[in-house]
A and B are shown apart, each in its own frame.
Chain A
Amino acid sequence: MAAEVKPIPNAIPSPHAAEEEDLREHLMFDPRPREEMNRMVMDSMTHTTPRYWIVVGILAVLTAVLLYGVWGYMIFTGIGISGERRPNYWGIFIVSLVFWIGISHAGTFVSAILRVFKAEFRRPFTRAAELMTTFGLAAGALWPLIHLGRVWVFYWMIPYPNARWLWPNFRSPLVWDFMAITTYLLSSTIYLYLPLLPDLAMARDRTKGWRHVVYKFLALGWRGTEAEWFRLRKAINIFAIAIIPVMFSVHTIVSWDFAVAQTGGWNSTIFGPYFIIGAILSGVSAVVTILIILRATLKNMDYFIRLEHIDALGKLLLVFSMAWAYFFFNDYMVSWYGGSEVVRTILTFHASGPSAWIWYVMLLCNVAIPWLTLWSKKLRRTPWLMLIVTLGINVGMYFERYTIIPITLGHQRMPFDWGEYTPRLPEISLALGSLCLFMLLYMLASRFIPMVPVWEVREGQEAHQLRKVGKTVVPSVSELE
């Protein structure tokens, strides 16, 4: 069966050759032997240049100083070194929390939703996206802690029997948040690990020294027996289906942090889906950003990650950008039409207050630029342009959260207590530090975890066939299970 995967020889040259070529590329109809793919992946993993170590070193120092150093200083002096003040009790700590939790939606979206719906183009980059989920959550889960006034007693949010007879308040959205983020972090980490088992076994068989010891431990003695594959398939199926509602619940609950409050501009029933769409928009953009960077910097990745994938994700991005605009407009329209005095003043404040430029940059990056560029196949296949567009979308999404959190908070019901918020240096340093942490973790993982699920790619290549229909060929995908 694998033989049929190969391109049909002597295909009649037709004016549609370019389209055919795309098809081939789309589902990777140019299979290479498994050994070669393994070798390519192992190579990308073990190959390090001095430049890589310099970047890692710089990132490590930056993380240590900008994130942990400043955080430690803040713990010892007080949260006051941030720019927060009455009435802006939440600033970019919470903005960053929402941002990173949003980023973490990408992996699950790519590898669970696309897996369940059998979108075949997902195969080569599921791992890259799942890693983003895990590390995005690792960076995001820091923020609720950084943001606490007394972080050393954060464990009071954990339900456990104690000498105080007190349990957490399960009516508080922050406890839901805590539970949801914990659930999502654990399940997405496991969901990263399960499909990794065969690849870890592959790495185990091809390494020596400390790597071998670690892979041997992590691969759990994977041999590839029928029972093991069967079990893995069952577990992945359970995960793929169960993790989707968990993913939706996480960002819905994050949105409820705002929506359940009576605060003007927050109390909106549409916040749940609006936040989810925003999260997927920023997450998928981040996936594209990372894929472009991986393709450019990681060895052998141009075979696995192709312009076709970026093209396909670009189409998704256009759809999500439109969906985001729809939800944004819906939220705006209903709030504005409702005519509540406080909400109307907030909406006016967003668009014409001293921070209005943030609101306009948000609309520019999230709507205008994607709509103007992503419709074009040619532009979608231009990596540097896609890099700019996707980075722009993430800037726009950051600004969206910034508009919703500190700017809205500054303009509430008591006009005497209106205020503005400007982040101070320590906060900005922490925000940059978490970005450094994310990049550092990702870079380290890229040299430790096989970045391409070779067995999934192989499985895909076996499932795909080119079928001749009349004068052209069409791809067909068979069910493997």
Chain B
Amino acid sequence: MAEETNQGVWGLVIDLNLCTGCNACVTACAMENNIPWVGEEDAGYGRSMSWINMQRYWEGEYPEVSPSYQPVMCQQCGRAPCEPVCPVFATVHSESEQINLQVYNRCIGTRYCANNCPYMARKFNWFDYAYNIPEPMNYYLNPSVTVRRRGVMEKCTFCVQRIHDGQENARAQGRAVIDGEIMTACQQACPADAIIFGDMTDPESQVSQALRSQRKYVLLEELGTQPKVTYLKGEGYYGG
């Protein structure tokens, strides 16, 4: 258990040049993380729960328009604005995983964190959506992830259950986590391989290589939130 102190810093890179906006990541995320569907009416009202917002922007003038897509999930900020405002420590910074956590059962539903998130990445359980899933469909629920009840906030966790699982397996086998061994659900589902996940402290990992690209940028960098999600877009080349 020598690697217990060095847990790594998890990072996500999304190549927008490759993203087609197919929403496979959104679906995979929903299946992995027990994200309920909210019904037609609430979804139309802007209460859909998906942890990834597939932001679609139109470019050009009609009819010469082309869409561009940007999946935006929780950016796992190093200095997250959502954390200090929670009165009960329901959203905290994980020291060991270096991500931003949401502890569902501690949440009392002040929704302050959601207001203070500049990325609008947080979703609120307005009703008991997950408990109203019709009978056979509840078998899709993932036992490794808490099913959230009404009145709590939730958001992308970088599939922390998978991180734990991978780390635990590696530890039980007495080895370090191999790059690419731990995959987030969105990464796994992305048909274009636009999403890369891994340890940013390992200079050889795919994420670190992608991060040396000239095409990288982070969202709302001027706020100093130190996001762990990086986007790649435009002209340039890979590698340092």
What residues of chain A have their CB less than 8 Å away from a CB belonging to chain B?
Answer: 77-80, 84-87, 89-90, 144, 147-151, 153-154, 156-157, 166, 168-169, 171-175, 178, 257, 260-263, 409, 412-414, 416-417, 419
Contact = CB atoms under 8 A, between A and B. Distances in A.
B84 A86 contact: no
B37 interface: no
Nearest to A174: B87
Contacts of A78: 125-128, 150-151
Given A86-B47, A148-B110, A149-B150, A412 B85 contact: no
Interface in B86-133: 86-89, 106-112, 114-116, 118-120, 123-128
Nearest to A156: B88
Nearest to B128: A78
Interface stretch (B5-13, B49-57, B169-177, B187-195): B49-57
A89 B42 contact: no
B108 A409 contact: no
Contact of A147 (B110, B128, B152): B110
Given A79-B151, A412-B118, A417-B53, A149 B124 contact: yes
Contacts of A157: 87-88, 108
Nearest to A169: B89
Contacts of B85: 172-174, 260-261
A168 B87 contact: yes
Contacts of A413: 118, 220
14 contacts: A78-B125, A78-B126, A86-B46, A86-B124, A90-B111, A147-B111, A148-B151, A149-B151, A156-B88, A169-B88, A172-B85, A173-B85, A409-B115, A416-B72
Nearest to B123: A86
A174 B110 contact: yes
B108 A414 contact: no
Interface of B: 42, 45-47, 53, 55-57, 72, 81, 84-89, 106-112, 114-116, 118-120, 123-128, 150-153, 220, 223
Given A262-B223, A412-B120, A416-B53, A172 B87 contact: yes
A261 B110 CA distance: 14
Nearest to B126: A80
A178 B81 CA distance: 20
Contacts of A86: 46-47, 114, 120, 123-124
Contacts of A260: 85
Contact of B106 (A148, A154, A156, A412): A156
Contact of A166 (B89, B118, B223): B89
A351 to B, nearest CB: 22
A473 B47 CA distance: 70
B109 A148 contact: yes
Contacts of A151: 108-109
A84 B150 CA distance: 14
B47 A80 contact: yes
Contacts of A263: 115-116, 118
A171 B85 CA distance: 7
B109 A416 contact: no
A79 B89 contact: no
A417 B107 contact: no
A257 B84 CA distance: 12
Nearest to A266: B115
A166 to B, nearest CB: 6
Contacts of B151: 78-79, 148-150
Contact of B87 (A77, A87, A149, A175): A175
Contacts of B107: 149-150
Contact of B81 (A148, A166, A261, A414): A261
A261 B116 contact: yes
Contacts of A89: 111, 114-115, 124
Given A87-B120, A414-B72, A414-B120, A171 B108 contact: no
Contacts of B118: 262-263, 412-414
A2 B198 CA distance: 87
Contact of A154 (B108, B111, B116): B108
Nearest to B110: A174
A414 B150 contact: no
B112 A174 contact: yes
A201 B28 CA distance: 72
Nearest to A409: B115
B88 A168 contact: yes
Most buried by A among B55, B84, B87, B123: B87
Nearest to A87: B120
A172 B84 contact: yes
Contact of B120 (A84, A169, A171, A417): A417
A151 B107 CA distance: 10
B57 A416 contact: yes
Given A90-B115, A263-B118, 4 more contacts: A79-B124, A89-B115, A169-B89, A413-B118
B110 A85 contact: no
Contacts of A416: 53, 55-57, 72
A84 B126 CA distance: 9
A150 B108 contact: yes
A417 B42 CA distance: 16
A79 B53 contact: no
Contact of A169 (B72, B86, B116): B86
A150 B109 contact: yes
Given A156-B106, A413-B220, A149 B114 contact: no
A178 B116 CA distance: 19
Given A78-B150, A86-B47, A149 B111 contact: yes
A149 B119 contact: no
B86 to A, nearest CB: 6
B109 A79 contact: yes
Contacts of A87: 114-115, 120
Nearest to A167: B89
Contacts of B46: 85-86, 419
Contacts of B88: 156-157, 166, 168-169
Contacts of A175: 87
B39 to A, nearest CB: 10
Nearest to A171: B84
A254 B81 CA distance: 18
Contacts of B112: 172-174, 257, 261
A174 B107 CA distance: 13
Nearest to A82: B126
Nearest 7 pairs between A and B by C-beta? A149-B109, A149-B151, A80-B126, A78-B150, A78-B127, A174-B87, A417-B120
Nearest to B219: A414
Contacts of A419: 46
